[in-house]
A and B are shown apart, each in its own frame.
Chain A
């Protein structure tokens, strides 16, 4: 069965960086893209970007472009999201999701990132 398992809770200080991992299993990792979506406390969903594990091509949301890097390691079927220069409003649950080109059909369990001094 398809599973996306994310790394654990992170607590960071303002200005630091965070790297969240998303390990995929149950399907051919290079066949589908991986999208990243975040959700601030009590707020809605915000698309952050997309990466193709097959080609490595990426597309980032304008709001965070320049602070975020998406990457994949096809040898371990793992996707990574790195966010730099963290601010308090980056506090959120970060989700990875399998991207079928439009629909996000399987989601990770989420990783809480807290940014606080």
Chain B
């Protein structure tokens, strides 16, 4: 049972816009920034979004993040086949004094 809650799966067709949600609480998302990681099959995770809505250099602007209260979202526009991956949200949890991850969302491009 993950501290941050994500839907286990999401899907879309090429060109579509897809959003992935991440629900937390006042001790994590409500009091800290949210980070998103992309994990392509068989590879290590990579940083996709930091500080809620910032993209590291090299990440396409098709990827965007937002946060409101105790929840956050990752949006992917202009969906491409290479976006098929697992996506994880993360935040610091003040109560646990630990970084916590969501359970991950497997994105399928139909």
Contact = CB atoms under 8 A, between A and B. Distances in A.
B45 interface: yes
Interface residues of A, number: 21
B35 A102 contact: yes
A110 B35 CA distance: 20
Contact of B103 (A44, A62, A102, A110): A44
Given A44-B101, A47-B100, A102 B44 contact: no
A41 B31 CA distance: 31
Contacts, number: 55
Nearest to B97: A59
Interface in B40-93: 44-47, 50-51, 56, 88, 90, 92
B106 to A, nearest CB: 10
Contacts of B92: 102
Contacts of B99: 35, 47, 50
B46 A107 contact: yes
B1 to A, nearest CB: 11
Q: How large is the interface on B (under 10, 10 to 19, 20 to 34, 35 or more residues)?
A: 20 to 34
A19 interface: no
A110 to B, nearest CB: 5
B96 to A, nearest CB: 7
Interface string A62-105: 10000000000000000000000000000000010100101111
25 contacts: A35-B99, A44-B88, A44-B101, A44-B102, A44-B104, A45-B39, A45-B88, A45-B104, A46-B101, A47-B98, A47-B99, A47-B100, A47-B101, A62-B96, A62-B98, A95-B45, A97-B45, A102-B35, A103-B47, A103-B51, A105-B47, A105-B56, A107-B46, A109-B44, A110-B44
Interface of A: 35, 37, 44-47, 50, 59, 61-62, 95, 97, 100, 102-105, 107-110
